[in-house]
Amino acid sequence: MGLNMSSPLDNIFLAYDVRGKVGTELTPSTVRDIGRAFGDWLELRKPIAVGYDMRPDSAELANSLIEGLLQQGRDVIDIGRVTSDMIYFAVGKYDLAGGAMITASHNPGEYNGIKFCREQAKAVGVESGLLDIKKACELQDFKEVGQEGSRTSQDVSDDWVQHVLSFIDASTLQPLKIAVDAGNGMAGAIFPKLEPVIPFAVTEMYFEPDGTFPNHIANPLEPKNLVDLQTELSKGGYSAGVAFDGDGDRAVLLDEKGEPLSGTVMTAILAGYFLDKYPGSTVLCNAICGQAAHDAVSASGGNSIRTKVGHSFIKADMRKYDAIFAGEHSGHYYFKDNWCADSGLIA
């Protein structure tokens, strides 16, 4: 598809999402247009879920996106301030046309963005619709609609927690002491809802959602952002630590000594767990996962398949190969029973 190479949208339409500096690259009017284009692009005429993270301008941008969707006659379910994986959940659970999440994940506070999905939480990326949405915005090519859509609000957090718990047998969990660093991101608002039903003594670190990131950027792949959690673990008595990214869809596990487990090791551990439950199943490992992940799958009697890096490829391949689980070295983990979407909290 030929695109205007000088378009100001070139800087914000990335491979898997929209992301840019608020006020210059990403404005309410731009987001409104993106909402209009997304509403036109989605084929199913069912409601669309919209959520947002804790950044100072996320609620305003969510309203702009919703305005665009409504303008195109689309009904919207506003699920409020959530983690990105809760958008995927809402779209799958309630059989919606698609969803959009206002977040810039682990980027610094001056950034924001939009993640999209289609029905059944299927990915929207450069090769699966994102360029069409961009083109409609560039050309201001929106459908003429006679009647605006409707907007309703829904709290999905209780349903989400029950869904997360469905992946485990809580009665078999051993009492543990863990430290959890939410990085002032959205996991801090959701993780406490799990605590009453799991036998873990949890030390909460930076659970107050704050999109200015006053303690450290919520990117657990950067070693400097793990220092505070490692300091807490060094006090002793802990079994493990967990660090989340800003929108809560990625998690990094640390052992009792504060050593982070790589995405390859986590993929191996989680693959073993799911292959115990579903013997002989297929597990996907992305192209930069180490051989240890494939060896672990084979040792557990499973079938490992290497897939391209990037969530849109992984989600498509999970459906293609009927995979029970997929892991990325970057700390994203995908689950068949989560509409093939990734989730830091489930992991």
- Indicate which residues carry an active-site annotation: 105
Token pair of 298 as six digits: 């084979």
Strand locations in 33-191, DSSP E? Answer: 48-52, 76-81, 98-102, 111-118, 151-153, 176-181
Contact 123, 316 (CB under 8 A): yes
What is the rounded distance in angstroms from the CA atom of residue 235 to the CA atom of residue 239?
12
Q: How far apart are CA 53 and CA 84, in angstroms?
A: 8
Contacts of residue 88, Cβ cutoff 8 Å, sequence gap at least 6: 99, 117, 121, 338, 339, 341, 342, 343
Q: Residue 237 phi/psi, 5° resolution?
A: 90, 0
Could you give the CA distance from residue 262 to residue 254 in angstroms, rounded to a whole number?
9
d(CA 337, CA 301): 20
324 CB neighbour count, 10 Å cutoff: 21
Place of tokens 């992984």: 314
Residues 6+ apart with CB under 8 A from 97: 42, 43, 44, 45, 46, 47, 48, 74, 91, 118, 119
Closest to 284 measured CA to CA, from 272, 294, 274: 294
C-alpha distance from residue 246 to each of 28, 108, 115, 119, 125 (Å): 21, 10, 13, 24, 20
